[in-house]
Structures are given as C-alpha cells and as structure tokens.
Amino acid sequence: MNNTGPLNQTTLNCNMTTTTTTAIPTGWTTVWTAMPQKAWAVADHLPPPAYARFADTTLRQTVRILGRAPLAEETKQGPSVWPSRRRSQVQTRRFRLRLSNTFGTSDLHITTATVGVPRRPGGGDEGDVDSVGDTAHGDDDGAHMSGSRFVDVDSVRPVLFAGRRSAVVPAGCLLLSDPVDVLFREQGKPTTMSTSGSTTETLSITLYFADGVGVATDAHAHADADALTTHPGSRTQSWLCRGGDQTASASLGGGHGLCSVAHWYFLAGVEECCPAGPAAGRKALVLVGDSITDGRCSTDNGNDRWPDLLWKRMEEEDDDDEKGKVWTSRYTLLNQAAGGNCVLRDGTGGPALLARLDRDVLSQPGAAGVLLFAGVNDVGTTAGGDTDEAAQHDVGDRLVATFAEVARRCRAAGLAVFVATIAPFCGPGRQESEKQPYSSPARDRTRQRVNGWIRASSTAAAGGASALFDGLVDFDAVLRDPDPACAGRLLPAYDSGDYLHPNVAGFQAMAMSFPLHLLETM
C-alpha cells in the first residue's frame, strides 16, 4: 500500500484527498497496541452473562496514545506546514483503527463505530455516576481520560470501513478502518511546548453490535470461550450498555444494564498519519513481555504500568528549545505484553513468542526496535521444575535458543533488538511456596543462568558488532534485593506482595533505569 501523500497546513493526507500547499512525505505509524488473546472462561476473560453475545450492545473503550505528531520545525521542511501545538488550543490528528477477530470462530459484525475524545463526568447528562463505579482517571487538567464512559460529543466522528458505516471482520482476521480525523482541545489553557505539558491523548472508541457476535448463548461454557478476541489485562474500564445504538451519545446509560469490565475487546491497534523519512519519521519500540509489562499490580485507569512511567519520564526529559519535543515526537512505545504469556508455548496468556512475532512485532507500521523482556513464566511453570534440574536445564537452553532466533529474525527485518534480564521471583522460605509457586532454588538457578547469557550477548557487556543484541536493560539488577542473604528476591520496597510482580514503586524504578540512549540507535 502506498502510504505517502501531500499535506495541507491544517490537514494531513494519509490516503485522503486534500488541497495541498507543500508536499511532505507521510506514512502510518502504530501508536497504540494491545496483544490479541483468546477469551478464557476459566480465567474470567468474558463479559457478564447478559452481554455474552454483545447483542444490541454498545461497547465504549478508551485507549491512551503515547506521542504526538512532530512540529514542522522537526521535519526540517521549512515553513510551518504541520498541525502545531505551539500556539494553538486545538490539534487535529489522523488515525485509523485495527479491529481484531483473531480468535473468533464466526464473522464479527460491527453495525456502527465512532471515535472521540473522552471527558470527565459533568453537564447533567451522566445520571448516577457512583452507582456504576465510574472511576476514570485523568491528567491534572482532566483533558485525558482513561476508563471514562463519557465523551465530548463535539469530538465524536464516525469510523468508516471502505466508506461504509458497518463492517464484517471475518473469523481469524484483522480489519483496518478508513482514516478518521480527531480534534483534541486543551481544557482551559493554551497548548504549549512546556515540558510540563502532556504529550498523551486518550481516544474513546465506541462499537455497536446490533445482532451480536458468534458466541453461543451459554457463553461461560469453556468450549464457547474461544469465540471472543480480547485483551483481558487492560487495567482500564470498558463500558457496555443495552438498548440501541449509543455510539454518538455523550454518556452511556441511556439504555439499560450499564456495566463495566476491566478488559478490552476486539481492539488490536491504532495507527497515526505522521511525517515520514529519516528527518521526521516517528519510530516505535515494541515491548514484548508478560504480566510485568502488561501492568499486573498497577492501578486500574491509572496508567502507571512501567511503560507508562517510562513515557512520563520521556516527557520530563524532552528538550524544551526551538526544536520542541525530542523523545515524545520521535518515538512511541507499543505494549505487546500479556499476563501469563510464555516464550516457548501457547496458553491462557496467548500464543508463544515465536508464534506471535510476525503479528505483534514485525508487521507493525513504524516498528524500529523491540525489547524482549520475557521468560519468567517458562522458568516458573516448567513441570517438575521445583527440583528437576534436567527439566530446568532444558528450559534454560530452549529460552536461549529462542531468544537468539527472535533476535536474528528481527535483525533481518531491520529492527534493533534490545533484551532485558528476567526479574527475581523467589520468596523468603519454603512456607511461601503456595503464595509464589515459582519460588524454588532450581528455578532461580535457571533464571540466573539465562540472565548471564543475556548479559554476555548484549552490546553493553560484550561490545562490538558481533554481539547478538543491540542493548541491555538489566531489570534484574534494578529490582533485586542486594542483600546476599536475599538472593533471588525482589527488593521489599518494590514487591507487590506476591514476590513476582513489582508494585508501582518498582515500575517507577524500572522506568527510571531504562537507558533512553537505546532509542537513538533504532
């Protein structure tokens, strides 16, 4: 597909007709992702029974976009021809949505879809907010909302698919929408290039299913669960309501049965039209991992996963000079992690790393690098791995071989490949085995052996062009307790309480330790 096109002073052209004044190459870059997973009834991935088939249901979901279009000054193209945040209180950005029916067993019929800008409750049209548990969070000015069921009606735009309001996503497939322009307005203050300003925006994506999707009536039967595609670890409220098409409504609740779930459904990605070329293009770093990167033990609607906190650090470290933002206009972070995901085998956490590499990494528009932060679930769930040294040796060897294969494939596709060490997971004693079944000396020896190989195979340790990886992120060193008597354990200040998942303080430490200079090597 040809993703280049001319540009007007206020309107981008990515595959849309405009009157042009100055031509700047443009292209599409993925700016948000959620790893598609099969919905498992036994893992509580399904919606409430009343919404089992999504029949006559409006589904409103919010996604947080990290990054913004670069300013004209950053394109080195001369006069201002790109929508600028420097003096305006409004900004138009062009997106297209990727919808997923990857794990569906029948066609997914979408009746209507809209996109807009979420808002806080207010204006007298929201009804009894507390009774439905509306706990959306936002920035200090309230402009960017995660988990909100409310939307600025003036911002709502229809999403079209090949020019039509309705669409069918075949079983096992993805569907890309037509481009749609979204107008963002700052709430009560100018949009400046101050380092205190946020470079994130939140989209509200609303889908209506008149006839429902192909799930059997008894949707909580295990055999029927595979008919839904979800990302269960959204850490973000999504809203469902019966009673007609409410995709253009300011707030859900005009029908009946309003409820919320902390899952995303049918959303795989958002792409944005951006300047292209070496002087202006935005590059994406794809984060591949498990529940630690997916945000287990972060705050629902709080956007305090470690990648979110890394982005906040990038905002704070942006250069505030004539060139404008640096990190947040040149790079974006794509979270392609899932709780329970393994490197070596499929499971409730989704397909194994090699099985999903093409879909989740190599096919992402704008992907320039990948961070591999995975392996803890393979080490921690190996059958007999508590005491079976042979089983642990085998899983360690297979992890090393798979990481090397992934690195070679990503390098062949032109991506920079970074790797992170596996974080600690041991408890303080045998009595904690029920609380953290991963905890055992044999499993920790495998973790440390794999980490030793990771360090030796990274440029930070080995140096030279022959190194397998382009950079190392040593999360083990950041998170572990330095006391030799506590080897293999998380530092207590960073422990969520299960000895495996860091808390928000741990996520902050991870974000602060990430070597930003690696982005410049992509």
- Predicted confidence at residue 4, as pLDDT, reads 33
> Do 238 and 155 lie in a common domain?
yes
Of the residues 276, 295, 317, which one is the last residue of a structural domain?
A: 276
pLDDT band at 215 (very low <50, low <70, confident <90, very high): very low
- Predicted confidence at residue 277, as pLDDT, reads 60
Q: Is 194 within a domain?
A: yes
> Do 347 and 225 lie in a common domain?
no
Q: Is 137 within a domain?
A: yes
Of the residues 254, 276, 298, which one is the last residue of a structural domain?
A: 276
H or E segment to which residue 26 belongs: strand 26-33
- Pairing status of strand 331-337 against strand 367-373: unpaired
Number of domains in the chain: 2
CATH number at residue 429: 3.40.50.1110
Q: Is 6 within a domain?
A: no
Q: Give residue 160's identity as a one-letter amino acid code.
A: L
> Do 37 and 106 lie in a common domain?
yes
d(CA 490, CA 509) in angstroms, rounded, equals 12
d(CA 417, CA 469) in angstroms, rounded, equals 5
* Tokens 């029974």, located at residue: 49
Q: Is 23 within a domain?
A: no
> Do 170 and 262 lie in a common domain?
yes
Give the sign of the dihedral formed by CA 416, CA 520, CA 36, CA 28.
negative
Average pLDDT on 279-295 reads: 90
Of the residues 240, 258, 276, which one is the last residue of a structural domain?
A: 276
Residue 274: exposure state from Cβ atoms within 10 A (0-12, 13-18, ≥19):
buried
- Predicted confidence at residue 30, as pLDDT, reads 96
Q: Is 297 within a domain?
A: no
- Pairing status of strand 416-420 against strand 367-373: parallel
> Do 271 and 195 lie in a common domain?
yes
- Residue in 126, 151, 137 with CA at minimum distance from that of residue 250: 151
Model confidence over 299-352: pLDDT tens digits? Answer: 999 999 999 999 999 999 886 545 555 898 899 999 999 999 999 999 989 999
DSSP string, 54-110: -TTEEEEEEEEEE--PPPHHHHT-SS--S--SSS-SEEEEEEEEEEE-TT-SS-EEE
Domain span at 113: 28-276
- Predicted confidence at residue 449, as pLDDT, reads 98
- Predicted confidence at residue 278, as pLDDT, reads 54
Over pLDDT 90: what percentage of the chain? 63
CA 79 to chain centre: 34
> Do 184 and 261 lie in a common domain?
yes
d(CA 185, CA 128) in angstroms, rounded, equals 27
> Do 473 and 361 lie in a common domain?
yes
> Do 340 and 271 lie in a common domain?
no
User: What predicted TM-score, i.e. pTM, was given to this entire model?
Assistant: 0.88
Average pLDDT value over all residues in the chain: 83
Q: Is 491 within a domain?
A: yes
Q: Is 310 within a domain?
A: no
> Do 403 and 257 lie in a common domain?
no
Spell out the SS3 assignment of 186-198: CCCCCCCCCCCCC
* Token duo for residue 220: 């909580």
Model confidence over 17-66: pLDDT tens digits? Answer: 433 334 556 789 999 999 999 998 877 888 888 888 899 999 999 999 98
> Do 259 and 354 lie in a common domain?
no
Over pLDDT 70: what percentage of the chain? 76
Q: How many angstroms separate the first and last alpha carbons of the chain?
A: 24
> Do 122 and 249 lie in a common domain?
yes
* Tokens 């947040």, located at residue: 328
**Inter-residue long-range contacts of 407-411, CB under 8 Å, 24+ positions, other chains counted:** 407/372, 407/468, 407/469, 409/357, 409/362, 410/357, 410/361, 410/362, 410/370
pLDDT band at 144 (very low <50, low <70, confident <90, very high): low
pLDDT band at 126 (very low <50, low <70, confident <90, very high): very low
Q: Is 502 within a domain?
A: yes
* Tokens 């889908």, located at residue: 207
